[in-house]
Amino acid sequence: MTSRFCLEVAGPYACFTRPEMKVERVSYDVITPSAARAVFESILWKPAIRWRVTQIEVLRPIRFINLRRNEVSAVVSTRNVQQAMHAGSGNLALYIEDERQQRAGYFLRDVAYRLHAELSLAPGCTEPLMKYTEMFTRRARKGQCVNQPYLGCREFAAQFRLVEAGEQGSAPLPETRPLGWMLHDLDFSNPADPQPRFFDAKMNDGVVDVPPFEEARG
């Protein structure tokens, strides 16, 4: 049993990074299913529920822009965090001035999507699905969220609104093209070593149909 929802999201910039690009950030042509799932989870996430993105509609022309940004080249070491936890104190500071670097990126600009997803209960959950259906509907209508939805990078904030049942929105982009192999999501069967799964994405008249995760390839 599932509940179906649709969100319209938009933003001035987006970056859904291709994993094969190791040095500079290069975005996919459209939002990935995992990034779309994150938008729904930013509005409502509980251990008792699961989100599955089924379809992505592209509402604006696909346009790119080259940008250079300041980024931090390091992260706080996990080992240092663990040592500080055991010792009760420690220096976990990261000095941005020492770790700052400029990186170029090939980002999307002026994006808008209509995202379709199904909400279901996690295995073993005995709570009624209607509870979470009503919770998400109420939050999405009010524009409430657990954390600010974003388009690939946290600095690229997304505006969102709930598309009501029966609502006639704008038509998708009238364009058909192959998108190549795209990241579907990560397989967390082994939490210590999550593995990426990919699918052969195609956009038909502005619509990308997302296969079930089980059909994606490693």
Helix residue spans in 21-121 (DSSP H): 33-43, 78-87, 96-99
CA end-to-end distance (rounded Å), the chain: 28
- Judge whether 196 and 40 are in contact, CB under 8 Å: no
C-alpha 159 chain-centroid distance: 13
pLDDT digits (tens, 9 = 90+) for 103-148: 788 999 999 999 999 999 988 888 999 999 999 999 999 999 999 9
The two three-digit tokens of residue 132, written as one number:
């979470």
- 162, pLDDT greater than 90: yes
pLDDT digits (tens, 9 = 90+) for 178-197: 999 999 999 988 888 889 99
Q: How many CB atoms lie within 10 A of CB 182?
A: 22
Domains of the chain: 3-70+104-215 (3.30.70.2660)
pLDDT digits (tens, 9 = 90+) for 69-114: 777 767 777 777 788 788 777 777 777 666 667 778 899 999 999 9
80 backbone dihedrals φ, ψ, rounded to 5°: -65, -40
Closest CA to 42 of 123, 127, 134, 152: 152
- Judge whether 53 and 31 are in contact, CB under 8 Å: no
How much is the pTM? 0.86
Give CA–CA dist 153/14, Å, rounded: 7
How does residue 152 score in pLDDT terms, banded at 50, 70 and 90?
very high
Half-sphere exposure of 58 (CA within 13 A, CB side): 28
DSSP-derived secondary structure letter, 193: S
Give CA–CA dist 140/133, Å, rounded: 11
